[in-house]
Chains A and B, each alone.
Chain A
Amino acid sequence: MTDARGVPPRALQAHGPEIAAARARRWGAFYYAEQVLRVMKGYSWSIVMYSVGQPVAYLFAMGVGLATLVDGQGGSAFGGVSYLAFIAPALLVSAGVMTAANEFTFPVMDGFKWRRTYYGPHASPLTPGQIAAGHIMAVTLRLLLQSAIYFLAVALFGASPSGWGWAAILVATLTGLSFGLPLMAYSASITEDKGQFALVMRFIVMPLFLFSGTFFPLDTLPLAVRWIGWISPIWHGTELGRVLSYGYQEPPLLTLLHLAVLVGLAALGWTLTRRRFALRMGQ
């Protein structure tokens, strides 16, 4: 084949726009996920250190240090398991939520405002929805990896007696998304950084971490603050994790409710995020 000037095409040639568009329509979210993962690779060392260091520090401090005191009082308050086994699923889930809270705030602001990294792919065949999905997929992968490392540490501490304990990896990832995706939709709506993210960390993530039945059963709290747990993805994720990791007894319907809340919040967050991305990029 030759072009109008009779010049034969070079050996190196891109496929045509039709193929590019068709591939982007099908795989676009994966292409963008690849970009986010490549960026994450740049700070993979800190991701691994965080993923390993955090569980070891928490499990040692709480599960060994504090547990010596708590277990000495008789562990009946914790469903007959050690204090370490009681808090391990909660720590695992909370770590997922905290990572999600980081990955779905500042990088989103970076994409839209600071370095405008979303607008590069936006000019390519990718759609705003795919850019959002790619970001979400890459963070999901990070959450899975981090939770797997965390679970390994939990198992090494002997704090996951049930054979289903590994499923807490999925629960922690899902909980991360159920909190992170609505937050991502919020992040995508922010046009001016006035320290909103610091407020989210201090006044939402921290109270949820502390009052979601993480370190003590939720029903030991006065009714006036117990609602924090009920609306908290961390509580739903933690309870689900406990059912899986040591067979914590609760009505099966309640277990289903936990799952429904987590899936529902994640789905709602994803929908709002897609809408917000499309709106902001399509103006």
Chain B
Amino acid sequence: MPFHIPGASTSVRRVHNEAFLPSGTRSGSPPSRPIVIAAEDLTKKYGDLAAVNGISFSVPAGESFGLLGPNGAGKSTAMKMIGGVTRRTSGTLDIMGLDPDTHGPEVRAHLGVVPQQDNLDEELRVRDNLLVYGRYFGLPMSYLKPKADELLEFAQLTDKAKSKVDALSGGMKRRLTIARSLINEPRILLLDEPTTGLDPQARHILWDRLFRLKEQGVTLILTTHYMDEAEQLCDRLIVVDKGRIMAEGSPARLIREHSTREVVELRFGSERNTTIATELDGIGERLEVLPDRVLIYADDGEAALEQVVYRGLRPLTSLVRRSSLEDVFLRLTGRSLVD
């Protein structure tokens, strides 16, 4: 789908052309893809508290980019600045060649936004929610009516078109919010914790829909504190904690750089977990003692587990698994993602 629409003002188009100049210098992204979002030393302070504390990143068109971190890490604040609804305290931010602080409406016209909390018009019917939202972009009804039907189909909500929103399940509301965010055919979609609070089945349906958008070339920016979600959806991500970037890279690369290939999870009971560490000394590359379990980081998990058994230690349960982003986060911050 073309970015440029005939009739667009020349001044804006000029800015765009600059924005679409190949960059790809900072993030190591392929230089052929234009950078659509660039943040440099982005900071947001509320009084003395820095919610976002000097983060820099750039996102090329079509990439699925994640901000992974625990609650309160500053992900949502960063998203609000990208979404052009919160002014930054300092740093620079460039969305499609535009500064959201000075060109809020123009920046927001490029975006589709799925907020953390649904804010659908509960008093309107499902389909009307899409029509009304499309009007905010000045879209005519001749476009909106067939488009709304198309999006309801995409969100698997066609048979709910005439229902009131408050009759929908949590997963359906989420899908409707995503459908709503697509009404203006945005090339950039911001998703703030898209699947928080959904049951596993609803999450998988949602991931499938998001994956289809990604295949269509939509740039996805999403925040999550679910490592599996980040691994499923993100080409590249930044791990954020206390408003700062702790690491950046693809999920596979982050795991490779900050963790071992496998992890052995052992449970000795909450009494013994803390005291057993010395007896496990020397097994694997690294040991992490958590209140409920002990983690042994090793490239060969089975071999590590054999050593544990060989030393005569009898864990209540044991599990060998692949390293995940959760382990990366634990390594980087000493804390787990979901508190």
Interface residues of A (CB under 8 A from B): 1, 3, 9, 12-25, 27-28, 31-32, 34-35, 38-39, 42, 115-127, 281-283
> What are 20 A-B contacts with C-beta separation under 8 Å?
A13-B1, A13-B143, A14-B183, A14-B184, A17-B110, A17-B184, A17-B186, A18-B106, A21-B103, A28-B136, A31-B138, A32-B136, A35-B121, A35-B132, A117-B119, A123-B111, A125-B137, A282-B85, A283-B46, A283-B86
Q: Determine the residue in chain B with the shortest Cβ distance to A128.
A: B85
Complex partner residue of B136 from A1, A22, A125, CB under 8 angstroms: A125
**Is A115 a contact of B119 with CB atoms below 8 Å?**
yes
Q: Give the contact stretch, choosing among B3-11, B261-269, B308-316.
A: B3-11
Complex partner residue of A14 from B111, B117, B124, B185, CB under 8 angstroms: B185
Q: Determine the residue in chain B with the shortest Cβ distance to A43.
A: B123
Q: Given A19-B138, A120-B119, decide whether A126 and B5 contact each other with a Cβ distance below 8 A.
A: no
**Is A38 a contact of B132 with CB atoms below 8 Å?**
yes
Q: Given A19-B8, A42-B123, A116-B119, decide whether A25 and B85 contact each other with a Cβ distance below 8 A.
A: no
CB distance from B122 to the nearest CB of A (A): 6
Cα–Cα distance between A123 and B117 once the two chains are bound (Å)? 13
Q: Is B128 an interface residue (CB 8 A)?
A: yes
**Is A122 a contact of B124 with CB atoms below 8 Å?**
no
Which residues in B have their C-beta under 8 angstroms from that of A34?
A: 132, 135
Q: Given A12-B150, A14-B139, decide whether A24 and B109 contact each other with a Cβ distance below 8 A.
A: yes
Cα–Cα distance between A12 and B147 once the two chains are bound (Å)? 7
Which residues in B have their C-beta under 8 angstroms from that of A117?
A: 119, 121-122
Q: Determine the residue in chain A with the shortest Cβ distance to B7.
A: A19
CB distance from B230 to the nearest CB of A (A): 23
Complex partner residue of A120 from B7, B13, B106, B133, CB under 8 angstroms: B133
**Is B5 a contact of A19 with CB atoms below 8 Å?**
yes
Main secondary structure of the interface of A (DSSP, over half): helix
Which residues in A have their C-beta under 8 angstroms from that of B109?
A: 17-18, 20-21, 24, 124-125
Complex partner residue of A123 from B4, B96, B115, CB under 8 angstroms: B115
**Is A282 a contact of B135 with CB atoms below 8 Å?**
no
**Is B138 a contact of A27 with CB atoms below 8 Å?**
yes
**Is B105 a contact of A116 with CB atoms below 8 Å?**
no
**Is B2 a contact of A24 with CB atoms below 8 Å?**
no
**Is A14 a contact of B105 with CB atoms below 8 Å?**
no
**Is B85 a contact of A21 with CB atoms below 8 Å?**
no
Q: Given A19-B8, A28-B136, decide whether A127 and B185 contact each other with a Cβ distance below 8 A.
A: no
Pairs A-B, 4 closest by C-beta atoms: A23-B138, A16-B5, A124-B136, A17-B109
Cα–Cα distance between A15 and B183 once the two chains are bound (Å)? 11
**Is B137 a contact of A120 with CB atoms below 8 Å?**
no
CB distance from B149 to the nearest CB of A (A): 10
Main secondary structure of the interface of B (DSSP, over half): loop
Cα–Cα distance between A281 and B115 once the two chains are bound (Å)? 14
Interface residues of B (CB under 8 A from A): 1-5, 7-9, 12-13, 46, 83, 85-87, 96, 103-106, 108-111, 113, 115, 117, 119-124, 128, 132-133, 135-139, 143, 146-147, 150, 180, 183-186
CB distance from A32 to the nearest CB of B (A): 7
Q: Given A119-B119, A123-B115, decide whether A14 and B147 contact each other with a Cβ distance below 8 A.
A: yes
Which residues in A have their C-beta under 8 angstroms from that of B96?
A: 17
Cα–Cα distance between A268 and B88 once the two chains are bound (Å)? 29
Which residues in B have their C-beta under 8 angstroms from that of A121?
A: 133, 136
Q: Given A12-B143, A25-B105, A122-B85, decide whether A18 and B12 contact each other with a Cβ distance below 8 A.
A: yes
Complex partner residue of A119 from B7, B106, B115, B128, CB under 8 angstroms: B115
**Is A124 a contact of B117 with CB atoms below 8 Å?**
no
**Is A24 a contact of B105 with CB atoms below 8 Å?**
yes
Complex partner residue of A22 from B9, B111, B183, CB under 8 angstroms: B9
Complex partner residue of B105 from A12, A13, A42, A127, CB under 8 angstroms: A127
CB distance from B69 to the nearest CB of A (A): 21
**Is A126 a contact of B184 with CB atoms below 8 Å?**
no
Which residues in A have their C-beta under 8 angstroms from that of B83?
A: 123
Q: Given A13-B185, A18-B8, A21-B106, decide whether A126 and B136 contact each other with a Cβ distance below 8 A.
A: yes
CB distance from A230 to the nearest CB of B (A): 40
Which residues in B have their C-beta under 8 angstroms from that of A127?
A: 104-105
CB distance from A26 to the nearest CB of B (A): 8
Which residues in A have their C-beta under 8 angstroms from that of B139?
A: 14-15, 20
CB distance from A80 to the nearest CB of B (A): 49
Cα–Cα distance between A35 and B110 once the two chains are bound (Å)? 21
Which residues in B have their C-beta under 8 angstroms from that of A126?
A: 105, 136
Q: Given A19-B7, A116-B119, A127-B104, decide whether A24 and B136 contact each other with a Cβ distance below 8 A.
A: yes
Cα–Cα distance between A267 and B186 once the two chains are bound (Å)? 37
**Is B124 a contact of A38 with CB atoms below 8 Å?**
yes
Interface centre among B9, B12, B108, B133 (most CB of A within 10 A): B108
Cα–Cα distance between A12 and B144 once the two chains are bound (Å)? 9
CB distance from A265 to the nearest CB of B (A): 30
Q: Determine the residue in chain B with the shortest Cβ distance to A116.
A: B119
Q: Determine the residue in chain A with the shortest Cβ distance to B144.
A: A14
Which residues in A have their C-beta under 8 angstroms from that of B86?
A: 282-283
Which residues in A have their C-beta under 8 angstroms from that of B186?
A: 17
Cα–Cα distance between A131 and B146 once the two chains are bound (Å)? 26
**Is A1 a contact of B2 with CB atoms below 8 Å?**
yes
Which residues in B have their C-beta under 8 angstroms from that of A32?
A: 136
Q: Determine the residue in chain B with the shortest Cβ distance to A114.
A: B122
Which residues in B have their C-beta under 8 angstroms from that of A20?
A: 109, 137-139, 184
